[in-house]
Amino acid sequence: MSEYDFIIVGAGSAGAVVANRLSENPEVKVLALEAGKPRSETPTDLTTRVDNPSVWYTLLGSEVDWGYQSVPQPGLEGRVTYEPRGKLPGGSSNLYIMMHIRGHISDYDNWAYSGCPGWAYKDILPYFQKLENQEDNTSEWAGKGGPLYVANAKLHNPNPTSEAFINACLELGYPYTPDFNGSSMEGVGWHHVNIKDGKRQSTALAYLNPASLRPNLTISTNSQATRLLFDGKRCVGVEYSQNGEIKTAHANYEVIVCAGAIESPKLLLLSGIGNPAHLKEFGIPVKADVPGVGENFHNHILIGVINEASQTVPNGHLNLSECALFCKSDPGWVGPDLQIGFVHVPFNIIVGQNYPNSISILPGIVRPLSRGWLRLASGNPLDKPLVNPNYLSVEADVERLVQSVKLARDIFATKAFSGWVKRELMPGPDVQSEEQLRSFVRQNADSYHHQAGSCKMGLDDMAVVDPQLRVYGVEGLRVADASVMPVVPSGNCHTGIVMIGEKVSDLIKQEHHLL
């Protein structure tokens, strides 16, 4: 058994951060286990596509994607959704759409109010600033000099249809916001994106690669964790499968699980941490009765409204999504619950094959009320788990998605878009009544790929980790990734995941006097 001070399970959006920050201390020996292949073993055409911001969607379903699927979703008329997650160093930071969005101030204040003291916006703002290297000065809250580069799409020759979208929203009376991560998230504006010199900025590039040169950090690829190892109630290591061989590694201080909202709860369950009744189904001895493991699983949900363009839309060179509108479905919301995205390509593959010269508005619910779960499918640690986001199980989510489809149509109907829009392809002119729109939503809504919440942080009986991200019922074990988010932030959640990696690194250093 190889011996380390810290073992990190998963070198993805959060794990890469933790590996970098803990190995800053040369006296500490760190192991990062990554299930995916190293870049050197990944086909060149794939790594080229990872680097190219404008073809990110071609990575979905490739060998750098875990390729999860949901169980049939009653709220989507029994459809199965595709749930991609990155499987290579840097994890899903290699697949996501590169939009740099922290979330609304109230998202994090609500975390703190609901049992996560220390996670209010004022508490985590320094960590957002620590991770960022923002090129412009659109917000006095922006970070400078951090590992993750943040560019303003407006400054990099954006698509003219993006400008039309912004003008359309202004025409409808929505305010302009210069920076979604500044003092006002609400309104229409240009995205900040994790792109530098025309290339994707993943956490592999920003955090993992620079740290890989340190002799005290070992990055073990092709290494899928299969079980956590315990001495009594203390987690002392990890069992993992590497190229078909079962290996073990010992941790003197802690194991930090950063495997994401799907794999993290799965690993806890396989290790005997979870609901005893569920563990009993697979003959797994109970190490800790923590009923919240795999519960509270949720995700943003979106849909597409597509129009054929009346003139040729220039090819994209950034991330295809350069601007958005954040707004409220009801003025009583504390922050925006709708994200109305725009892409200068057809959102739907089938529509796109027939009408490639199309543009799409993507209405999304970013404060969803629907909650699902994650369960083991078997006792085999290499089998994928059962994934149930339970989309549109709450009626208010359906109503707000219908409302946002109507808003998308209003945006396309503005004078600002008159020179670009030829005709609606999806939902199409025949879909008009409330009942037809509800059917359209249930038949076409899809994953926003922001899976979260399945090992939620808190102080209540269903919390899996405490506000220091330590797993309840055991010692020497933390979880740090999107699974600990009690509620997913309003907007793309990658930036929040990186922040969690930064904050947990400091919590660990403080506890073990490593600062």
Q: What is the rounded distance in angstroms from the CA atom of residue 122 to the CA atom of residue 105?
A: 9
Per annotation, catalytic residue among 344, 450, 494, 512: 450
pLDDT in tens, 320-358: 999 999 999 999 999 999 999 999 999 888 888 899 999
Q: How high is the pLDDT of residue 317?
A: 85
pLDDT in tens, 259-281: 999 999 999 999 999 999 999 99
* Residue 153, CA atoms < 13 Å, CB-side half-sphere: 33
pLDDT class of 57 with cuts at 50, 70, 90: confident
Q: How high is the pLDDT of residue 350?
A: 83
CA distances for 51 relative to 94, 97, 198, 247, 306, angstroms: 8, 12, 8, 32, 27
The beta strand positions in 366-495, using DSSP E, are 372-375, 386-388, 421-426, 446-447, 477-479
pLDDT in tens, 223-253: 999 999 999 999 999 999 999 999 999 999 9
Give the distance, in angstroms, between the CA of residue 444 and the centroid of all CA atoms in the same chain: 21
Q: What does the block give as tokens for 414?
A: 């503005």
Report whether 376 contacts 266 (CB < 8 A): yes
446-447/301-302 β-pairing:
antiparallel
Q: What does the block give as tokens for 370?
A: 């629907």
Q: How high is the pLDDT of residue 316?
A: 85
pLDDT class of 108 with cuts at 50, 70, 90: very high
Q: What is the rounded distance in angstroms from the CA atom of residue 137 to the CA atom of residue 351?
A: 39
- Residue at token pair 């959060």: 14
pTM of the model: 0.97
pLDDT in tens, 27-41: 999 999 999 999 999
Sign of CA dihedral 260, 265, 267, 268: positive
Q: Which segments of 309-372 does DSSP mark as H helices, in order? A: 349-354
Mean pLDDT of the chain: 97
Pick from 147-151, 205-209, 218-222, 313-317: least confident = 313-317
Q: How high is the pLDDT of residue 92?
A: 96
DSSP state letter for 129: H
CA distances for 91 relative to 64, 73, 259, 260, angstroms: 9, 26, 9, 9
Can the peptide bond before residue 427 be classed as cis, meaning omega within 30 degrees of 0?
Answer: yes
Give the DSSP per-residue string, 193-240. ESEETTEE--HIIIIIHHHTTSTTEEEE-SEEEEEEEEETTEEEEEEE
CB atoms within 10 A of CB 45: 10
DSSP β-bridge partners for residue 2:
249
User: Any catalytic annotation for residue 450?
Assistant: yes
Q: What is the rounded distance in angstroms from the CA atom of residue 367 to the CA atom of residue 326?
A: 11
Classified as helix, coil or strand, 358 is strand
Q: What is the rounded distance in angstroms from the CA atom of residue 513 to the CA atom of residue 440?
A: 56
pLDDT class of 407 with cuts at 50, 70, 90: very high
Q: What is the rounded distance in angstroms from the CA atom of residue 443 to the CA atom of residue 431?
A: 13
DSSP state letter for 74: G
pLDDT in tens, 112-125: 999 999 999 999 99
Q: With a cut of 80, say whether residue 1 has pLDDT above it.
A: no
Report whether 76 contacts 84 (CB < 8 A): no
Nearest to 5 by CA among 18, 24, 22: 22
Tell me how far apart the terminal alpha carbons of the chain are, to the nearest angstrom.
28
Report whether 158 contacts 190 (CB < 8 A): yes
295-297/372-375 β-pairing:
antiparallel
Mark 263-283 as b/e (b = at least 16 C-beta within 10 Å): bbbbbbbbbbbbbeebbeeee
Report whether 194 contacts 147 (CB < 8 A): no
Q: What is the rounded distance in angstroms from the CA atom of residue 493 to the CA atom of residue 339?
A: 12
Q: What is the rounded distance in angstroms from the CA atom of residue 357 to the CA atom of residue 353?
A: 10
Q: What does the block give as tokens for 26?
A: 């040369």
